[in-house]
Every structure is written in structure tokens, then in C-alpha cells.
Chain A
């Protein structure tokens, strides 16, 4: 050691800040520190406003449904009762579907599943607020889009079971749906990639002078991906007719949203730095979700530019069937979550306006249960995952390219030989 005095010795030691969630297993969750503005409080600017005008809305929370189930304030989309009932039915269907498929995974009928419990209002209301021809680039937690757009439950299940009727031929992990007709782009396991893709689709629609718009989806955790930044940049530069949704459900597997940057700024507020209009919305309020998406779609459709919407919600269950949230977060958080349950809140609203009652609700639950069970029975008749894997082996080598090159043809023949040896007879 040198005898010279260290010139830095009087400076304070630097400290690394590593964000921690407020509650860990064993703690009693208490969300009273979360500011929840009253329903109806947020102003609703004209769709043609400059992006920066929306900044106050990026730290606020657009809410329509009050605690008494009334729709209040300037964001009330004033939906007719049929649309409200349709949304309630869609949301309930998603939840029942999730429960059935979760159970199917536990029964060994498939390898994997992901629920969206507590987040049903977001995809369902967004789908209802946009035109059927508009395009979505979803993540794996927007199954509500397919349900709301009338995609067959049976086909969703066939994908989950990777069976003979699976539209993606057993090539994709369960829930990685794809359907062009329903405007639902193929889900990728790689997070964030679909965000710039959505912008590109919207740019294409603008290049062609089309009138369709597009919605890109991402979770709070994946906003940290570089693709989030490139999507926001391209959306802003080209004023693409796109709605960019951030579903902030507070958790990215075991990491709370602070690890993605939520401690210092809301996700919505990021929009302003890109010159994009931003909204922060109560994601458990189906009417607020509908109104915000409608506002953003009107803006996009009239060439007023993109909008980024943060949907503030809570991931009520585990990340996936491979996840156990009791290992990293406090029990009972979902029940304590200040924004409540989206299905219960929409139901209370329908009842408050005299368009729903307990009997009809019970009847609807029965009907949905029967529908989902019937779909499941039909899907399982087409096979479940453990029965698959040796049917139509050549199809495994198809669609890598438009036509099969020599090396894939050779490998296909080798795979068939191996299967023959394993099975003791010719594979189907």
C-alpha cells in the first residue's frame, strides 16, 4: 500500500439501488399507498390533441366505474346494454376457459398453460372497441381477443392439446395461437418482438392508404426490451396508426414492476418522451378500457398518430402452470388489489343500471360452463398431447420453407426410419 493519502477518501461510498417489491411471502399486503383517483375524475381531451397535452393523463388513472357500479365522467363510453352484456359474457368465458385449461394441464392432457385471471377486461374490451378488421399483435396473455372476436373455443383448445385439429400442427407451445382471419398475429415466445411488428403493420396500412389500424401488446416486464424502444421510435417517426398497449400487471414472473422501471415513472409517461400520446387506464374497469381504446383508435384512424396506453392491473395468479407465486410474493395480494375484480365490477354496473340480475348471472354462468365443457369434449376427441407426436411425421418438416429442400427431405426420411424402429411398425 502506498503512503499517499487516497484523494477519494472523503467522498461518500456509492450505493446501488435494487428495487424490492413492497411485500414478500409472509407479509400482509396493504396497497393503501397506491393512489386510486376517483372514477370520472380524469379529463378527456379531444382525439386530435398534441401528444404532450396527455402528460397529466399518464400519471393519472382513467376510470369510469365508481364503487357503486355507476359509469361516471367524460370517459363513459355510453355503451348499450347488449354490448355490456357481451363483454361480461366474453370475460366470464375467458375465466372459465382459463380454469378448464389450467386443470387440463394439471391432469396431464397438455404440457403448459397461462391464465389471464384478473386481466380479462383489457383484451375483451379492447377487442370490442376496435373493428373486426383491425389487427392485433398480442402477447400470450390476450386470449380475450380471440374469445371476444368469436374464435372457436374448440380450436383454441386443439392448439393447447397440439392435437390433429391444431391449426399450427403441433409445432407451437400451448397458447401460442395464430389466426389471420380473426386479426390475431402469431404469438412468439420471444418477448417484445411483436411490438415493432405492430408498428410495421400499421405503417403498411398507411403506405397502402388502407383504413385499418393495428394494436400492439406488451407486458410491464417486456417494456425493458430494446424492441419496446424501437417500436415507440418508429411509431412516432412515421406517425403510424397504431395503439401500443402496456399491460402493467405488476409482475414479470417473479420480478415486480419496479425491476422494469416502474418505481421512478409510470409506463404511460414514457410515451411523452417519444412524442406519443399516453393514457394510464384502470385495467380492471372494462368501460375505461373500452373508452381509452376507442379514443386511441379514433385518433389513429384519422391520421392523428399513435397512442400508448398503460393498463394498470394485477396478475391475480401464477405466471404460468410452471410457476408458483408463493415463492416470491405475499399471499392475498389479488384480494387486496385496490382495483378489484374486472368481472365483478362490470356485473355490478349492469345490475346498477337495471340490465342484469342474480338469476340471469347464474344462468349465464351455467351456459358458459356448458359451452366450455362441450368445446373441451370435442377438442379432446381430436386427441390430447400425450397421444400425439407420431402422427404425420412428414408435416414436421413442412413449412420451414415454401418447398422442402434436399437436406430436409433427407432428414424427414431419417426421422421416419427412426420412428419405424421405435414403434415397431410404420408410423402414420
Chain B
């Protein structure tokens, strides 16, 4: 057991798996010699050599496209897109190729690859270093979408993603790489070392894909969330003295519908919390599923907390980010009805 922040946990998952499986290759922009702009791949090239971990040209389409060819050969590419905001040039390869090759070849070819990418806001990243594009991938059949919220899960989920026979989009909330963020931007952030979830086992372990985690048990309402917003939600619940059940979905696709249903049927109320823009976001799918499957248990309309339907603005970071006030008002609304 070693105390690790999210980056260290993710780095360790790479190391553990690359030692176990010679077919894993790691590449992306600046991931080789330098070890990545967030240090996620630090030391890997030195340990495993340049043919296992290397720098790539600035071409997301090329990175994903060559990874498809490598997977077709029989390797397991574990690639990085520097920011989720820059994944779009690779989108055709992801949606039209990676996601569909098992289906279109009737299983003759598969795509056991992981596409890692730092995502989310709260870091004054402006329009192109803050986006949360998960809905563009959950909408795409054939992809698994995973978003961890702490170091323990980050390592265990990444190892599961690497071992999974299907392609996984692995979004890492960069706001919480160094410590959990509760939405109070005006207060100092505690490092992960002060949080028990930074106790990360050495070596191999997994956190299963497709399994949500109840991070706080409660009776008053169910909060469905993931990534940074897990911590914002937990803080809001405590600050407002509400006995909410908070569920960290961890995997958005495939979704752990059983845990969701069980919780909402128990509490009768549901709040969906995401950082991404509101319209057609993943929260819309969550709200619809709850409505379809728990309608007769609901005592109030399902509410959504989300980013506004604008591009992510620089100066208005804390007006945009779904913080404590938006959370408080939404909680009040769900509980009042």
C-alpha cells in the first residue's frame, strides 16, 4: 500500500500492466521521454524502452488510427489524448472504426485498446482545456466509458480497462489529479494524502467496469454523479445537512442500472449531477432511465445540475462550474416537491 494521488495511481497502473503484458504499447503527444504533460507516463520509456512507450506526432486522428492498426495486429494500445478537448480529430477513427470493428467483423477482429484523456474543468482551462465530452462517447455504441473520481478507483479501473476485451474511453478529471475538489474554489484544496482513497495497493488489483459505488448511503434522495462532481456532491450534502445517497457511477457505459434503480426506489427522489453542458448531456440519459424505470417510486421530478449550455468560459469559471450554490438550490428543489 502506497499513498498516491490520481496521477501516481494512473502511472502505476501503466507500470503494473506493462510489466505483465508485452503487447501493451503506450504512445501519445509528449508521453515518451518527457512522461506526459501531466506526468501520467513518467518513467515508462526509461523502464520499458522506446518501442513500448513513445512520443507521437500532434495528430489525434493518426494516434487513434495507428492504434487501430496495432490492435488489428494483436497489440494492446494504451494511448493518450492530451486533453479531451482535442479528441475530436480522432473522433472518426473512434466512432467509425474502434467502436465498430468487433461488430462489423463478427468478432474476427477486436479492439482491446484504452484511450486515456484528461477532462473536465475547474482549472481556468478556458474553452479548450475544460470540456466534458463524455456524452459524445456514451452515445456511440461499442464503446465503454469510464471516469474515476479517486486514486484507488483510478488505478483499479484503468487496469480493468486495459484487461477489458473492448475499447474503453478513460476520462480523467484533471481538477482532482492532485486532490479532491469540493467546489469551494475560494478555499485551499486538500491533497489526496489526507484522503483514505489515496491508499493505493501496490501491484495488480482491479475495480470492475460497469459497477457503480455508493459513496454515501442515505434516505432523502439519490444523487447520480461521477468524476469531480462526486466530491462537489458529497460536500453539498454535508453542508446542507441532507441525508442523501450519493452514487459514483464510475462507468457510464455500460451503466450499473441495478444500483441506480435500487437507490432511487428506496429514496423516491433523484438529482443528476454532471459538469458537462446540460442539453443532451449524459444526465439526460440518466434522468430518462430513472423516469422509465422508477416512475411509480418518484415523489418529485428528477432534477439536473449541469454546466450551462455555453462554451466553457475562462473568466467566468466559477459562474459556469456547477458549484455549491447550484447544488444547494437543486437539492432544495428536489426535496421540496
Contact = CB atoms under 8 A, between A and B. Distances in A.
Interface in A165-222: 167-169, 171-172, 176, 178-180, 185-186, 188-190, 193, 195-208, 214
Interface stretch (B63-71, B187-195, B220-228, B329-337): B63-71
B69 A137 contact: yes
Interface string A228-252: 0111011001000000000000000
Given A167-B106, A400-B142, A199 B254 contact: no
Contact of B70 (A167, A203, A230): A203
Interface residues of A, number: 48
A180 B62 contact: no
B62 A234 contact: yes
A188 B65 contact: no
Contacts of A398: 107
A407 interface: yes
Contacts of B67: 200
A233 B61 CA distance: 11
Contacts of A406: 254, 257
A185 B109 contact: yes
B139 to A, nearest CB: 13
A199 B56 CA distance: 13
Contact of B92 (A135, A168, A190): A190
B66 A172 contact: no
Interface in B48-106: 51-52, 56-57, 59, 61-62, 65-70, 72-75, 89, 92-93, 96-97, 100-106
Contacts of B93: 193, 196, 227
Interface in B242-283: 254-255, 257
Contacts of B68: 193, 196-197, 200
Contacts of A233: 57, 59, 62
Contacts of A234: 56-57, 59, 62, 65-66
Nearest to B97: A193
A201 B142 contact: no
Given A196-B66, A207-B75, A234-B66, A172 B97 contact: no
B104 A200 contact: no
B105 A186 contact: yes
B10 interface: no
Contacts of A169: 106
A230 B89 CA distance: 11
A197 B62 contact: no
Contacts of A226: 61, 89
B61 to A, nearest CB: 5
B65 A230 contact: yes
A359 interface: no
A349 to B, nearest CB: 36
Nearest to A178: B105
Nearest to A240: B66
A188 B96 contact: yes
A208 B92 CA distance: 27
Contact of A185 (B56, B70, B72, B102): B72
Contact of A196 (B62, B102, B105): B62
B238 interface: no
Contact of A176 (B25, B70, B97, B104): B104
B59 A402 contact: no
Given A203-B69, A406-B257, A401 B102 contact: yes
Contacts of B144: 401
A392 to B, nearest CB: 12
A322 to B, nearest CB: 20
B103 A402 contact: no
Given A197-B97, A231-B62, A233-B59, A204 B108 contact: no
A405 interface: yes
A80 interface: no
Nearest to B95: A190
A399 interface: yes
Given A188-B96, A405-B210, A406-B257, A180 B109 contact: yes
Interface in B125-152: 141-142, 144
Contacts of B74: 204
B299 interface: no
B110 interface: yes
Given A237-B57, A400-B142, A201 B69 contact: yes
Counting chain A CB atoms within 10 Å of each CB, the highest count among B59, B69, B103 belongs to: B69
Counting chain B CB atoms within 10 Å of each CB, the highest count among A185, A202, A206 belongs to: A185
27 contacts: A171-B103, A172-B104, A178-B105, A178-B106, A189-B96, A190-B96, A193-B92, A196-B62, A196-B66, A196-B68, A196-B69, A197-B68, A197-B97, A200-B69, A207-B70, A208-B75, A226-B89, A227-B61, A234-B57, A234-B59, A237-B57, A399-B103, A401-B142, A402-B102, A402-B164, A402-B165, A407-B257
Which 6 residue pairs spanning A and B have beta carbons closest together? Answer: A200-B69, A196-B65, A200-B66, A230-B62, A204-B73, A201-B69
Interface of A: 135, 137, 167-169, 171-172, 176, 178-180, 185-186, 188-190, 193, 195-208, 214, 226-227, 229-231, 233-234, 237, 398-402, 405-407
